[in-house]
Amino acid sequence: MRVLVLGGTGSIGAGVVDALITRRHDVVGLARSANAAKRLVAAGASVLPGDIREPLAWIGAVSGFDAVVQAASAFGADDERVEGALVDLLLGRLGTTDRPQSLLYTGGCWLYGASGDAVATEDTAFDPLPAFAWSVAHVNRVRSASHLRGIVIHPAMVYERDGRVFERFRRDLDSHRRIRIVGSESVRWPLVHRRDVAALYALALESANAGAAYNGATVDSVPVGEIARAMSRRAGHSAPPAIQTTDEVAAELGEWARGLGLDQRMSGWKARRELGWVPLHPDPLADIA
């Protein structure tokens, strides 16, 4: 498959590029800078220069692909506008020739809101974090598109041993030896290792049906207090985590960061059943240790 990956240098997208190349797909990454282009080439991908803020400059190229993966995010105050324009163009251009085309769109666990003890599945109604509420419409548009194969993946919190969603914890340990968590120690996060979620994207591109949605969660929840304490222990520190309120973290990082305080559980079993997804990192706390 010839695949264009948007966001191919990001937490999710870089893994997707690797997974697709490993599975012998022909991968091109959109790059907005020389540095991004260099990283894509180093990963074995080709490069399409372009910026998601200026999609008209490169959108014509999508006709040459079997699939587009949207895993880019500018994480800016105007995300709603930028993403809306991008999705309009992708849905308008893909699937308009004889070539069958797919669009794999990235949603996210924060669209389910605070599930508490209930486990969110792909059938659970959305209750999105306000900062991302606009993306529900895009998820629904991609899934219901009839002129292309629209697929949605909802990644859980994406981690690697010391990085991605754990990176802030590591920086806290490096700078003041005490990890800050949001809400309370009992706030639960669904988790997925970045390589596992990347494998899910590749499997979905290869075999998901049009309109399908899959949650990318290896474990349905881990209390953030346990994550913080495991990371502290490994670093030789004994101080318990410090608690930040959601207002404090939003003031520090932006409204999106309220998601760090969502108490959630999310199931990734549908992908295991239907796509044969076998996560290789079933135990995030063991990964930390």
Segment interacting with ligand NAP (CB under 6 A) among 70-78, 123-131, 241-249, 275-283: 70-78
Instruction: Considering the complex, state which of residue 162 and residue 237 has its C-beta at the smaller distance from ligand NAP.
Output: 162
Q: Does 73 sit near ligand NAP (CB under 6 A)?
A: yes
Q: Does 9 sit near ligand NAP (CB under 6 A)?
A: yes
Segment interacting with ligand NAP (CB under 6 A) among 8-16, 40-48, 92-100, 279-287: 8-16
Structure tokens that stand for 122 in this block:
């792909």
User: N- to C-terminal Cα distance for the chain?
Assistant: 38
Tell me how far, at minimum, the Cβ of 168 lies from ligand NAP, in Å. 12
Q: Does 218 sit near ligand NAP (CB under 6 A)?
A: no
Tell me how far, at minimum, the Cβ of 83 lies from ligand NAP, in Å. 8
Which one among 16, 71, 213, 227 touches ligand NAP, defined by CB under 6 A? 71
**What is the binding site for ligand NAP (CB under 6 A)?**
7-13, 30, 32-33, 36, 51-53, 71-75, 106, 108-109, 155, 157-158, 164-165
